[in-house]
Chain A
Amino acid sequence: MRTRELGRLVGRDLRRTRGALSTAGFGILAGTAALVFFLSLGLGVRAVLLGDVFPLDKIELEPKGGADPGLLALVLGGSSVPRIQPESVEQLRAMPEVRRVYPKLRFAFPSSARGGQALIGQDVGTSEMVGDGVEPALVTADVHPSWSFEDPWKQAGAACTSDVQCDADKYCEHPTGMAQGKCVEPVPVLVSRYLVELFNKGIAPAHGLPPVGTALLERASGVTFTMRLGESLLGASKQGSVRTVRGRVVGVSSRAIDLGLTLPIDTVRRWNEEFAGAEAGRAFSSVLVETRSTGDASVVIDRADRLGLMPRDTRARDVSVLVNGVTALLSLVATVILLMAGSNIAYTFRALLSERRGEIGLYRAVGAARSDVLAWQLSLAAVVGSLYALAGLGLGCLATVLADWLAATRMPDFPFKPESFFSLPWWLMAGAVGFGALFAVVGALGPAWRAAGADPRDGLMG
């Protein structure tokens, strides 16, 4: 049978049996709506958790037994903490599942920081500060266009012994053991979104400070502060002279260390060598590995284990498993609804085809093959399934909009609260409609098969 004639036959059926098909299709509508809602919720929540909170395609590896050395270790001898040798970094780079490798150097000496008056009206500080050095390529996209993320020491600058000898926007960095320092720009620093959220939701309310919103965050870029190197509340480093340097916030980055400051790796290397020795500047404290896909993460973790490395944070994987599990459970509920809808379709088609034995017999008599009868009924089921699945898709989308609106207006603010809890990629929408149609076709398959195979004489000649 040609498509045009098949379409005509199906169109006539849709007009003629609207009532029965509507009842049968309602289940498809409900199941598809539930499937769209639950899957898009799972994808949306997963995207927020794994994209912003715990990025999963990036694994931070550190030496076994070298979990965060802590402040005490920094004071008592940070350089003895296990470190990742450059050879191990090269082996990670050679793995086929690895897209990029970004080694990190953590401060191997005590330090503190203070500043922020220009931004929030008063200075705030921390008596212990953790800093990470990262390669500029890792965070280029997060750096405000006005600034660069390079070690200022690499730039040319006038020799100096005091800040007053430098231009207004520079200061005199004077490393230990050098006769003279150099006039340089403040060290570029990135802060994490987590840190901003922590300040806004925890510290700012406690101290009566204004939260750092989007507009203020824009202004924060360029704000300078001071860092005290070689000394903190808990003690001083064993080598190097305690000195003060300036930092400048150049952006907020999801790749920045959660609690601390993120600086150019070359800067940290210099300071580590100055305050903790050559080894602290050569070997890395951790390494951020970007995999080619999220599925490669487990493979890379297994191989890194042989290099004596382990993931710093397994929360991402735990969260991923949890979100996937909950999404699968909710999708199962939706699938059960669709299964029931398919069974309802089967019942409806069985009844319809039983009523139409004469009609089917007639079609067979005037030239319809068994395959024509089968194609006719399955096409009808597919069209009914698709139409009601489309309606279900619309209903599901509407439900996501309503849920987002309720979340925005009724749900209290919390860290990483997204603008939308849902993600509706085109493949999910197409898949949901296809799934709805599939269940309708599967439901109609049995009755259609029996009708196509029935003896036409039964309907015609009794």
Chain B
Amino acid sequence: MAEVVRAEGLRRAFGQGDARRVAVDGVSLSVTPGEFLTVFGPSGSGKSTLLGIVGTLDRGFEGQLHLDGRDVRGMSDRELSRLRGERIGFVFQAFYLLDHLTVIENVTVPFLFTPRPRPRRTALRALQRVGLEDRAKDLTAGLSGGQRQRVAIARAIVHAPALLLCDEPTGNLDADTAAQIIDIFASLHRDDGVTVLCATHDERIAKVATRTVRMRDGRLEAQTDEVGRAHA
């Protein structure tokens, strides 16, 4: 089966001279379709940087990166933007909702740049998937933290991406709310076959993943296969 992500020897450094810091150091990684992979590690280990590279938001890396079988190194900014708009969904720790918009308007934001037919109907389906269809017309400013993250997940899956990238998705949530969000990710993976790559230091996410890789000081340390299946 073709890999959704195939990365070889990824390396990313910031700064120059004595201030130079290597955030990702020789990481090789592959994610197959339908897989739920967590990149587990402490803060500052390079997880978010790795996600930024895989999500094509960061172009200043060395190494090889293929998404959906396509080499992203030679792509223009517009081609990469289209790739993100069509094939990748992002969920961030800080949600990044636009509070001057309603819930459904937030979910349809990706369609501003990658138009689809019947955007509102598609967005409503995504909201149903995260259990928020009854709040579609509310402003996001009035939502709880858990609800905000569910809106962010709906926004990330509204265009049925090939890869869902999550960066510390439970980092701003209390334990109970985090558990609800983790359930949604597990359900998306289990029931809808969504491929997930999640950077986290929340062990509960690692438990629902099919595979976990550990990262420290920019390097992958160890790999645990089928952790998620064992806990499912």
Interface positions of A (Cβ within 8 A of B): 1-2, 5, 8-9, 12, 15-16, 358-359, 361-372, 455-457, 460-461
Contacts and interface: CB of A to CB of B under 8 A. Distances in A.
Contacts of A370: 77, 81
Contacts of B175: none
Given A12-B101, A457-B58, A367 B84 contact: yes
Given A2-B115, A457-B52, A366 B98 contact: no
Contact of A367 (B52, B85, B92, B100): B85
A461 B78 contact: no
Given A1-B112, A5-B113, A461-B52, A367 B96 contact: no
Give chain A's interface secondary structure class.
Answer: helix
B57 interface: yes
A372 B96 contact: no
26 contacts: A1-B113, A9-B112, A359-B98, A361-B57, A361-B96, A362-B98, A362-B109, A366-B90, A366-B109, A366-B113, A367-B84, A367-B85, A367-B113, A368-B81, A368-B85, A369-B77, A370-B77, A455-B57, A457-B48, A457-B58, A460-B90, A461-B48, A461-B49, A461-B52, A461-B57, A461-B167
B155 interface: yes
A366 B91 CA distance: 10
A125 B132 CA distance: 99
A372 B111 CA distance: 13
Nearest to B93: A461
Nearest to A368: B113
B114 interface: yes
Interface of B: 48-49, 51-52, 55, 57-58, 77-78, 81-82, 84-86, 90, 92, 94, 96, 98, 100-101, 109-115, 155, 167
Nearest to A376: B112
B8 to A, nearest CB: 21
A455 B112 CA distance: 20
B110 to A, nearest CB: 4
What 8 A-B pairs are tightest by C-beta distance, nearest first?
A367-B85, A367-B113, A369-B81, A366-B110, A362-B96, A5-B112, A367-B114, A369-B78
Contacts of A12: 100-101
A368 to B, nearest CB: 5
B100 A456 contact: no
A372 B57 CA distance: 15
A32 B78 CA distance: 37
A363 B112 CA distance: 9
A358 B115 CA distance: 22
A364 B114 CA distance: 11
Contacts of A15: 100
B92 A461 contact: yes
Nearest to B119: A5
Contacts of A456: 57
A2 B85 CA distance: 14
Contact of A358 (B85, B94, B111, B114): B94
Given A362-B96, A362-B98, 5 more contacts: A359-B98, A365-B57, A456-B57, A457-B57, A461-B49
Nearest to B58: A457
Nearest to A370: B77
A369 B109 CA distance: 14
A346 to B, nearest CB: 24
